[in-house]
Amino acid sequence: MMSKTDGQKLEEKLCYTIKNIGMERPEAIEKAEEFCEGYKKFLNHSKIERECVKYTIGLAEDAGYVPFERGRKYVPGDKVYYNNRGKNLILTTFGQNPLDQGVHFNIAHIDSPRLDLKPNPLYEKDELAYFKTHYYGGIRKYQWGTTPLALHGRVMLKDGSAVDLHIGEEKDDPVFVVTDLLPHLAAKQNQRTLAEGLRGEELNILVGSTPIQDDKVKAAFKLKVLSILNERFGMTEEDFLRAELTLVPAQKAVDVGLDRSMVGAYGQDDKVCAYTALMAELSAEKPAFTTVTLLTDKEETGSQGATGMASDMLLHYMEDLVECEGERVRDVLRKSMCLSADVNAAYDPTFADVFEAQNSCYLNKGPVLTKYTGARGKSGSNDASAETMYRVIRCLEDEDVMWQIGELGKVDAGGGGTIAMFIADMNVDTVDLGVPVLAMHAPFEITSKLDVYYTYRAFRAFNR
């Protein structure tokens, strides 16, 4: 082997390079594949936040978690959970340090962009029955045409009973669809901008095409759909007014690529961070700092509402938690740290022009530390301090976790936000850490298995 020149040695010593995990640590590939089997299962059970919370409680109880009780005395290693309205879940493992040393927060969101039904959704037109929708979160509307969709959500019936719908997921289930034009007749539609390819009021869900056999009936095709819903769920049309129903891609999580190195699925933003944070939380034994792992809702619509991060839900939990040790919540928060666990846009060679290559994250280079997000000069962003970056990077280095740095695309190419600012506003040092994603917010998003596994390792390192 040729010995290195002085210049090469200097370069190695002084320059920062981010390495590909597949090249540096091929032995991790098998572990990553194994880890992602549980991840794919989690995705298939977590298409909406309610289902995610329900599935997660099952996993948590199997790992020894019990519901949190106010005023109880807990010891290091105790594990508790708190369920907020069936849509958020907070999990805690009590640490060895007293709470006045601060806690380690790890917060991911479990809501994903989708097509919600309007409050009064059902209609028929020209002998076909449809649901009207109002999209939830940031979608590229044209991507949702001709994609098989499943119906999920909850209806509260007049008598106060709750009915959960879940149609389009089982092997013989029917699915639903938004139609689009054939190319032969799309000359005029093709003149629209991509943003208008399918318009909001065109995202109508085809739900039926047979009538009730009675020519005295005003809307026989709509009535047929209602009669099926009534038979199966006891619903009438009025019950849509007491419902949260949504259409999500029916596709299950699958491997992508001949080498099966990637996961393709709906809702990986941000269930990929939810799962990796959850696995790190469940496996924490007696961490130094008490952990507070929160799976939150409403991130995709701006975090407002009683189940979103802009609410006092987490603050109130923290008040109850610190009360157990007779502490004041402000003393605990100011010493705490948070990983805001959310995804970032992976560099896409096909669309390289929206990325700044030197500050983008890449598939297979590990979890991405995103110092700030925001748009138009970091507006609406938490910008992590040098000290916070130091502390988090040190956690990763101490545990030999490969990671990378990245920001969301070129300056002024667009932008976005995460929940980081809400927790930072509670006087907690916070930084974003998560998985790079290709085709983020599409009905089918792509992640790398090595990144998923290394993100879990990063959260484990933080929870030590």
Measure the CA–CA gap between 344 and 342, rounded to whole angstroms.
7
Angle value at C-alpha 129, between 217 and 246, nearest 5 degrees? 130
Cβ closer to Mn ion: 261 or 340?
A: 340
Residue of the chain from 124, 270, 432, 451 that contacts Mn ion (CB under 5 A): 270
Angle value at C-alpha 460, between 457 and 462, nearest 5 degrees? 115
Cβ proximity of 265 and 251 under 8 Å: yes
In the complex, least distance from residue 380 CB atom to Mn ion, rounded to whole angstroms: 14
Cβ proximity of 320 and 132 under 8 Å: no
In the complex, least distance from residue 412 CB atom to Mn ion, rounded to whole angstroms: 20
In the complex, least distance from residue 193 CB atom to Mn ion, rounded to whole angstroms: 22
Q: Which two tokens stand for residue 7?
A: 């210049």
* Residue nearest Mn ion (C-beta atom): 270
The closest of 439, 4, 395 to 262, measured between CA atoms, is: 439
Taking CB under 5 A as the binding criterion, the range among 48-56, 164-172, 340-348, 369-377 that sits at the site for Mn ion is 340-348
Cβ proximity of 249 and 168 under 8 Å: no
- Count of residues of this chain found to bind Mn ion when the rule CB under 5 A is applied: 3
Position 342 contacts Mn ion (CB under 5 A)? yes
In the complex, least distance from residue 350 CB atom to Mn ion, rounded to whole angstroms: 21
Measure the CA–CA gap between 257 and 109, rounded to whole angstroms.
27
DSSP state of 462: H
Position 297 contacts Mn ion (CB under 5 A)? no
Position 281 contacts Mn ion (CB under 5 A)? no
Which residues are within 8 A (CB) of 424 and not within 5 positions of it... i.e. 6 or more apart?
338, 382, 430
In the complex, least distance from residue 25 CB atom to Mn ion, rounded to whole angstroms: 27
For residues 240-269, which are near Mn ion according to CB under 5 A?
Answer: 269
In the complex, least distance from residue 434 CB atom to Mn ion, rounded to whole angstroms: 8
Q: Which H or E run contains 8?
A: helix 6-14
Cβ closer to Mn ion: 139 or 165?
A: 139
Taking CB under 5 A as the binding criterion, the range among 56-64, 197-205, 218-226, 338-346 that sits at the site for Mn ion is 338-346
Cβ closer to Mn ion: 95 or 267?
A: 267
Pair type for strands 177-178 and 114-125: unpaired
Taking CB under 5 A as the binding criterion, the range among 18-26, 155-163, 201-209, 337-345 that sits at the site for Mn ion is 337-345
In the complex, least distance from residue 355 CB atom to Mn ion, rounded to whole angstroms: 17
Given the rule CB under 5 A, which residues bind Mn ion?
269-270, 342
